[in-house]
Amino acid sequence: MESAAEKRVTMDEITALAKRRGFIFPSSEIYGGIGGFYDYGPLGAILKRNVKDAWWRENVEMRDDVVAFDSSIIMNPLVWKASGHVDAFNDLMVDCTQCKHRFRSDHLKDTSKCPDCGTKDALTEPRAFNLMLKTFVGPMEDTAAVAYLRPETAQGIFVNFKNVFQSARKRPPFGIAQIGKSFRNEITPGNFTFRMREFEQAELEYFVPDDGKDLEIFNEWVARRKQWYSDYGVKADRLRFYELTEKERPHYAKAGVDVEYLFPWGWGELESIAHRGTYDLDAHMNLSGKDLRFFDEASKAHYTPLLIESSAGMDRTTLTMLIDAYEKEQSVDPNGKETERVVLRFHPKIAPVQVAVFALARNKPELVERARTIELGLRKRGMRTQYDEGNIGQLYRRQDEIGTPFCIVFDFDSLDDAKVTVRERDSMKQERISIDALNGYLAERL
């Protein structure tokens, strides 16, 4: 593992590529940025959307037993009282009395001196710090107007549980899914988009009857999630499914698995899958006084379903796709010269651009027009395409760096034989394909 890790991409290389090619930028950069916030550029916005679509397709559209949801970011503050976030969504922080820097106490290996300025005995005792971001609703900025930006999307689902099962006419086992922004005032955001203060989660809340099959269903969801990462090409030896011990789980949880990826700095959590029992619905029934139980027609009895939750970070998954796809390799250019090639080996379904079409020469209208027509044709068939022209070697290099699986060149021979050169990103193999057959050829491979 050591030697494989040594050769891997560094975070400096990833952040430089993300900036240079327009994947991710620090937020409000011209004003010096703001810690824990990032913006997605033209390619990054598409990449992240594709990651979210891949999750949505698998967990909602492909299933009869999961319905879609989209709740508001700001909710009645009592939601966060019931969920425990107001009283207990805390991290312990320590301050350095010398340099004034603040740290999460569980991130400190040695508390005898400040890790930033090195002063001995300068750290304060740990104090609880609530991670919820506050705002005010309405024109009065008083305590009655305080509200919170949601720190997870899940609670919007729990408080709507009854609305959903009644309107969608669903009975457990069934799930409710949503993708949306969450906010946490992290003490120490960092590792690029890994730990942010504004981020996106994809959460699936799956409600099951208490009939003894719940652990089986939990394991099925773990297996499905494993399959999803594998389907989108995340390398198996960089992914692990860590089973939480009873001590590591909250008291009410019956099982828990953390999905972790081996980032350049070490293992980091991508997703948590948890069997949460009836804890969340019970909490909301207790505080709201509303009955959120399900009525079972067969037994003519009310019951509170058990909950299996899968909660994945979409920014972390997007970052994983970027890091996992990155490879730097030695290659030989058309003139026989050794060069270094940076290539993102994205799965074709999530690659921001799937097919790039080039005209061999810029100033030849007969080539430009035909190449553009081909590009437009593929775009209309639903492929994500890009048109370009000029130095083919340079264009290939650029498309490799943004992870485009196929490049097509329309050249002078194409005018006579109605064929184009198709170059595949990973093998760099080139084939002459008839223009008529192009759509079928690509559709099969994307």
Residues that bind ligand GAP (CB under 6 A): 152, 154, 184, 186, 195-196, 199, 201, 203, 269-272, 311-313, 315-316
CB of 155 to ligand GAP, least distance (A): 8
Q: How many residues does the chain have?
A: 446
Measured from the CB atom, the residue of 13 and 198 that comes closer to ligand GAP is 198
CB of 315 to ligand GAP, least distance (A): 5
Nearer Cβ to ligand GAP (197/423): 197
Please state, in angstroms and rounded to a whole number, the distance separating the CA atoms of residues 68 and 282.
Answer: 23
Closest to 50 (Cα-Cα) out of 329, 344, 264:
344
CB-count exposure of residue 219 (10 Å: 0-12, 13-18, 19+): middle
Please check whether residue 68 is in contact with residue 62, taking contact to mean a CB–CB distance below 8 angstroms. no
Distance CA 373, CA 429 (A): 24
Nearer to ligand GAP among residue 278 and residue 311 (C-beta): 311
Write down the least CB distance from residue 180 to ligand GAP, Å: 11
- Output 158 or 406, the one with its CB closest to ligand GAP: 158
How far is it, in rounded angstroms, from Cα 208 to Cα 173? 4
Give me the least distance between CB of 31 and ligand GAP, in Å please. Answer: 22
* For ligand GAP, the closer CB: 186 or 282: 186
| Least distance in angstroms from the C-beta of 222 to ligand GAP | 14
User: Of 247, 269, 238, 242, whose CA–CA distance to 257 is shortest?
Assistant: 242
Nearer to ligand GAP, 317 or 386 (CB): 317
Q: How many CA atoms lie within 13 A of 76 on its CB side?
A: 8
> How far does CA 391 lie from the centroid of its chain?
35
For 229, phi and psi rounded to 5 degrees?
Answer: -60, -40
Nearest 10 degrees: Cα torsion 234, 155, 248, 222 = -40
CB contact burial 154-178 (16+ within 10 A = b; e otherwise): bbbbbbbbeebbeeeebbbbbbbbb
> Residue 55 or residue 165: which is nearer to ligand GAP going by CB?
55
Closest approach of Cβ 314 to ligand GAP, in Å? 8
Q: How far is the CB of 424 from ligand GAP (least distance, A)?
A: 33
